[in-house]
Amino acid sequence: MRHVISLLIENESGALSRVSGLFSARGYNIESLTVAPTEDASMSRMTIVTTGSDDIIEQITKQLNKLVEVVKVVDISEAAHIERELMLIKLRATGKDREEVKRTADIFRARIIDVTEASYVVELTGNQAKLDAFIGAIDNTLILETVRSGICGVGRGDRILKL
Amino acid sequence: MVLTGAEIVIRCLQEEKVEHVFGYPGGAVLFIYDALFQQEQVRHVLVRHEQAAVHAADGYARSTQKVGVALVTSGPGATNAVTGIATAFCDSIPLVIISGQVPTAAIGQDAFQEVDTVGITRPCVKHNFLVKDVRDIAATIKKAFYLARTGRPGPVLVDIPKDVSMHKCEFEYPQEISMRSYNPVVKGHQGQIRKAVQLLLEARRPMIYTGGGVILSDAAEQLTKLTRLLGFPITNTLMGLGGYPASDRQYLGMPGMHGTYEANMAMHYSDVLLAVGARFDDRVIGSPAHFAEEPRKIIHVDIDPSSISKRVKVDVPIVGDVREVLDEMIRQLEAGKARPNAEALAAWWKQVEEWRSRNCMVYKNSDEIIKPQFVVQKLWEVTGGDAIVTSDVGQHQMWASQYYRFDKPRRWLNSGGLGTMGVGMPYAMGAQLANPGATVACVTGEASIQMNIQELSTCKQFRLPIKICNLNNRYLGMVRQWQELFHGGRYSESYMDSLPDFAKLAEAYGHVGIRVDKPADVEPALREAFTKHKNELVFLDFQVDPTENVYPMVQGGKGLTEMILSAEDL
């Protein structure tokens, strides 16, 4: 089963390798991992997408909690939550493709943020499925580069992960 | 007071009441060694290899309740220390390791004797730090000691670049410490403890299974009291030996791969299993699937939540310090009127005694050739069962754990988790320094002892009168045993050729060496070592039967009830 684990961790050098090292050492999967400081610069928030049985997810959260620098761990996918991922995709945009790419971007509410004579850079935010759908909708031969951020997640309503 | 970083390091150690530091100097720690030189409170023990420094600090910690401290230089000093650190990590031993690092400006430049020590040790420490500013040294060392000794203990490494140890700043040792990200649970959940006590009282075939956690939390007294109060059978794992007196009737011996028949059968067929400070290790329960075939309720007390329900499903998890939880169980039992079901317990004991009557630890002694088990038995007799016994890893380790009966905690020091050959002598060094008046014996083999044989020199320098009992069978015995049983008797590289004359070798280092060839000479030699040469290191080189195997045995991957009791079962 796919799970989205959010955690708060001390913003110390090496903190990221403690988390990624834990996953590789114990043979857990990481589908994506994002990390950046929070409004409190001494702390970072990490979103990890992983897969595993209930037993494995239980061990993952326990092992993460055991890391000395980890402040809090929550499996946000246990209840209602929101996921967003950012994608920047560079597409060949010449001739009739120029108009077609623009139209597709509009349909997906994506924005074109860089334009040259031969290319567009399209910015798109959404859940993983939406980003996948956009890639599916674009002629594969037009794709020059794809950059995806991995997902950020947050619980809905009263579910708050804070110190 | 303005001090250099190096002086601050030493002052911190003094503040932590550290008496012994085990270490080896080098370029990156020159300032720290200079500061060490200019004081007398912290005594430095110069080992001959950094691995032994960490093992000795580890043995020091295991035999006391204190944090062991090691000091090593950058690069090879740190990498040599890694085996020691990993060994302590696997057995949750509180250590602080201070390593030198190349100057901050040189980090990342592939400088001489530079390695990423924090990176290399990350998976085998409880936590580690790289100190980049002299003003952070005091708080970091304070944190290191706090982390090492609280919660589930473990080794903590502090890496200090050379320039940081040279810079100066105002020194003040923090009195308090609080970390928002680290708050180990101490007291167990009242409701869970009540549930556990209820289960124990209702049990018809109860069993108590305890591990190293009992030793680490100094809970042997509580465990003994609770076990006697309940009247249940009990087993101590390899790491938990001495947690409950081995000479007591309720004690069934060690469980697991080389445990007793009665302990394994009682573990397997119990209806309520109380696990305390133990982790259902593969060497203890064998195959988890086979273990789960028999339905039983499991109560698991452990300070580390991640140890609970890791390998087997637990019915009543209790997270907390073992001593606190056992105290609370005793309190609840004594406060209530309910007692265990005497009738059911009597029937269960009848079954347990039947298993015990198989006498699984009996071995065939000989007048011609020394049996290794016999040496350990005699060692137990001669030392009155009250020595601190260290061991290395292999057959001799198992025989020592099986035939030396430990009645007290912190008397048995061995590498249970990582299984590190070469720990025996350094452990004995640490234990002897921590307990100057104690009798310390190292049960080892001719292969293990050679992995840190250079420490005979350290023992001479610091006049450590440890007694080394070398069960010399000219083989990597445990490897040979597995090759005999599972690899068609093809003894690939397990014969120890070109062995030195150990007695002469010990003499060359300035110690007493005694070679023993005949069974009749075993006891006199031991008596001579422990009385006539009480204040000297004695290397007893016992020439033992090279074909002897360790029994009983549960083969890897098999279940606890599928035991080989002796060679006849094969």
Task: Report the CATH number at residue A58.
Answer: 3.30.70.260
Range B223-243 average pLDDT: 98
A61 is written with which tokens?
């959260």
Chain B CA closest to residue A25: B123
Please indicate if any CB of chain B lies within 8 Å of the CB of A162: no
Inter-residue contact B43 to B21 (CB < 8 Å): yes
CA B82, B88, B90, B93 dihedral sign is negative
Residues A8 and A63 in one domain: yes
What ipTM goes with this model? 0.93
Residues A93 and A142 in one domain: yes
Report in angstroms the alpha-carbon separations of A29 from A154, B64, B72, B287, B559: 21, 40, 36, 25, 30
- Token pair 């921590």 is at which residue? B434
Range B244-252 average pLDDT: 98
- Does residue A160 belong to any structural domain of this protein? no
Report in angstroms the alpha-carbon separations of B471 from B242, B366, B397, B515: 23, 16, 10, 11
CA A122, A126, A132, A136 dihedral sign is negative
Last residue of a domain, one of A56, A78, A100: A78
Residues A97 and A70 in one domain: no
Q: Check pLDDT > 80 for residue B482.
A: yes
pLDDT at res. B539: 98
Residues A102 and A72 in one domain: no
Tell me, yes or no, if B478 is annotated catalytic.
yes
- Partners of B43 in beta bridges: B20
pLDDT at res. B55: 98
B310 closest CB neighbour out of A18, A59, A163: A59
What average pLDDT does chain A have? 96
Inter-residue contact A80 to A153 (CB < 8 Å): no
- Number of Cβ within a 10 Å radius of residue B219: 26
Residues A58 and A10 in one domain: yes
Confidence of residue B91 (pLDDT cuts 50, 70, 90): very high
Q: Check pLDDT > 90 for residue A125.
A: yes
- Does residue A40 belong to any structural domain of this protein? yes
* Domain containing residue A86: CATH number: 3.30.70.1150
Range B498-503 average pLDDT: 98
- Number of Cβ within a 10 Å radius of residue A10: 17
B162 Cβ partners below 8 Å, 6+ apart?
B27, B28, B29, B30, B31, B74, B100, B101, B102, B103
Confidence of residue B71 (pLDDT cuts 50, 70, 90): very high
Range A124-133 average pLDDT: 97
- Does residue A161 belong to any structural domain of this protein? no
- Nearest CA distance, B468 vs chain A (angstrom): 37
Chain B CA closest to residue A9: B181
pLDDT at res. B569: 82
Range B365-394 average pLDDT: 98
Range A117-139 average pLDDT: 97
Inter-residue contact B78 to B53 (CB < 8 Å): no
Confidence of residue B567 (pLDDT cuts 50, 70, 90): confident
Residue B29 backbone dihedrals phi, psi, to 5 degrees: -115, 15
Confidence of residue A163 (pLDDT cuts 50, 70, 90): confident
pLDDT at res. B459: 98
- Number of Cβ within a 10 Å radius of residue B229: 14
Please indicate if any CB of chain A lies within 8 Å of the CB of B305: yes
pLDDT at res. B568: 83
Q: Check pLDDT > 90 for residue B225.
A: yes
Residues A74 and A87 in one domain: no
Tell me, yes or no, if B113 is annotated catalytic.
yes
CA distance A85 to A124: 8
Show contacts of A27-32: CB within 8 Å, 24+ apart.
A28/A52, A28/A56, A28/A60, A31/A2, A32/A85, A32/A150, A32/A151
Q: Which domain holds residue A142?
A: 82-152
Residues A72 and A87 in one domain: no
Residues A117 and A143 in one domain: yes
- Does residue A12 belong to any structural domain of this protein? yes
Enumerate the residues of chain A whose CB falls inside 8 A of the CB of residue B123. 21, 25
Confidence of residue B35 (pLDDT cuts 50, 70, 90): very high
- Token pair 């080394």 is at which residue? B468
- Does residue A34 belong to any structural domain of this protein? yes
Inter-residue contact A88 to A121 (CB < 8 Å): yes
For chains A and B, count residue pairs whose Cβ atoms are closer than 8 Å: 37
- Best mutation site among B130, B157, B306, B308 for testing chain A: the one with the most A CBs within 10 Å? B306
Please indicate if any CB of chain A lies within 8 Å of the CB of B507: no
Q: Which residue has the higher pLDDT, B78 or A163?
A: B78
Tell me, yes or no, if B112 is annotated catalytic.
yes
Range B197-217 average pLDDT: 98
Range A119-128 average pLDDT: 97
Q: Which residues of A49-75 are buried (b: 16+ CB within 10 A; e: fewer)?
A: bbebeeebbbbbbbbbebbbbbbbbbb
Residues A69 and A56 in one domain: yes
Inter-residue contact B5 to B166 (CB < 8 Å): yes
Q: Check pLDDT > 80 for residue A55.
A: yes
Last residue of a domain, one of A57, A78, A99: A78
Tell me, yes or no, if B553 is annotated catalytic.
no
pLDDT at res. B45: 98
Inter-residue contact B396 to B388 (CB < 8 Å): no
Last residue of a domain, one of A27, A47, A78: A78
Answer whether B181 sits within 8 Å of A21, measured CB to CB. Answer: no
> Which percentage of chain A shows pLDDT scores above 90?
99
CA distance B448 to B453: 9
Inter-residue contact B275 to B283 (CB < 8 Å): no
Residues A69 and A117 in one domain: no
Please indicate if any CB of chain B lies within 8 Å of the CB of A10: yes
- Does residue A28 belong to any structural domain of this protein? yes
- Does residue A127 belong to any structural domain of this protein? yes
Enumerate the residues of chain B whose CB falls inside 8 A of the CB of residue A10. 181
Inter-residue contact B446 to B502 (CB < 8 Å): yes
> Which percentage of chain B shows pLDDT scores above 70?
100
B149 is written with which tokens?
């000794």
Answer whether A14 sits within 8 Å of B122, measured CB to CB. Answer: yes
pLDDT at res. B570: 75
The candidate with the shortest Cα–Cα distance to B475, out of B445, B515, B443, is B445
Domains of chain B listed by start with CATH number = 2-170 (3.40.50.970), 190-356 (3.40.50.1220), 372-550 (3.40.50.970)
Please indicate if any CB of chain B lies within 8 Å of the CB of A31: no
- Does residue A115 belong to any structural domain of this protein? yes
CA distance A120 to A92: 7
Range A12-19 average pLDDT: 94
Residues A98 and A73 in one domain: no
Report in angstroms the alpha-carbon separations of B167 from A34, B133, B138, B152: 37, 9, 13, 34
- Token pair 């684990």 is at which residue? A5
Structural domain total, chain A: 2
B216 half-sphere exposure, CB direction, 13 A CA radius: 29
Q: Check pLDDT > 80 for residue B326.
A: yes
Range A123-129 average pLDDT: 97
A21 closest CB neighbour out of B122, B127, B306: B122
Range B196-224 average pLDDT: 98
Residues A40 and A87 in one domain: no
